[in-house]
A and B are shown apart, each in its own frame.
Chain A
């Protein structure tokens, strides 16, 4: 069964304290892995797409990396405005390209 697991469930950081969020996935084949940010009461906002092991994408203080079994979202010197829930999703090769499986998310709180 295709599955996505994110850890930790919640993370509290001080402003400037770098850390990483983990997304482990079990799929028969990976078509793509996606990272989203979700603020309370809003729809998820697309951040990155990764397609193959070794690929990296960066945006401001965020950097996403991909291996054959997991992806990491590295947050460098976070600011309070980075506080949000970060969601990981995978698109299995075994399904139509419209299918997307989400993890439960990591809720990040950055304190000033």
Chain B
């Protein structure tokens, strides 16, 4: 089944403890992207990647890092999480920037 897989689905962590949210797609898509979704603010793009080793900032990149060493994987790294990064995170992939396929989401709480 064609899909984008994120892990974990739920995560509670403490301020300052580094964490990684994994994202993998099995559709051989070139484009991958990370979003956060917050009430009243909608979906906002954090980072995106147009191919292996090619990444660019979205609208809210501060406090996040990404890497694209393989085509199928696009992990999101929070080096020092803070409470304002508590949010619902989505990874997505697409063929050449067309309609994106989204993962099921990761609900992150930073206390």
A residues near B, CB below 8 A? 31-32, 34, 41-49, 87, 89, 91, 96-105
Contact = CB atoms under 8 A, between A and B. Distances in A.
B31 A98 contact: yes
12 contacts: A31-B97, A32-B97, A42-B104, A43-B102, A43-B103, A43-B105, A87-B43, A97-B50, A98-B97, A99-B45, A99-B56, A102-B35
Nearest to B96: A97
Interface in B54-109: 56, 58-59, 90, 92, 96-105
Nearest to A6: B42
B24 to A, nearest CB: 14
Question: Which 6 residue pairs of A and B lie closest in terms of their CB atoms, listed nearest first?
Answer: A43-B102, A97-B97, A46-B99, A98-B48, A102-B43, A104-B42
The main secondary structure of chain B at its interface with chain A is strand
B25 interface: no
Given A32-B98, A98-B97, A43 B31 contact: no
A32 B106 CA distance: 27
- Among B43, B44, B59, B105, the one with the most A-chain Cβ atoms within 10 Å of its Cβ is B43
Contacts of B44: 102
Contacts, number: 67
Given A46-B99, A49-B98, A100-B100, 16 more contacts: A32-B98, A34-B100, A41-B105, A42-B104, A44-B100, A44-B102, A46-B102, A47-B99, A48-B99, A87-B43, A97-B97, A98-B31, A102-B43, A102-B44, A103-B42, A104-B41
B48 A99 contact: yes
Contacts of B40: 104
Interface in B28-43: 31, 33, 35, 40-43
B61 to A, nearest CB: 12
B102 to A, nearest CB: 3
A34 B101 CA distance: 12
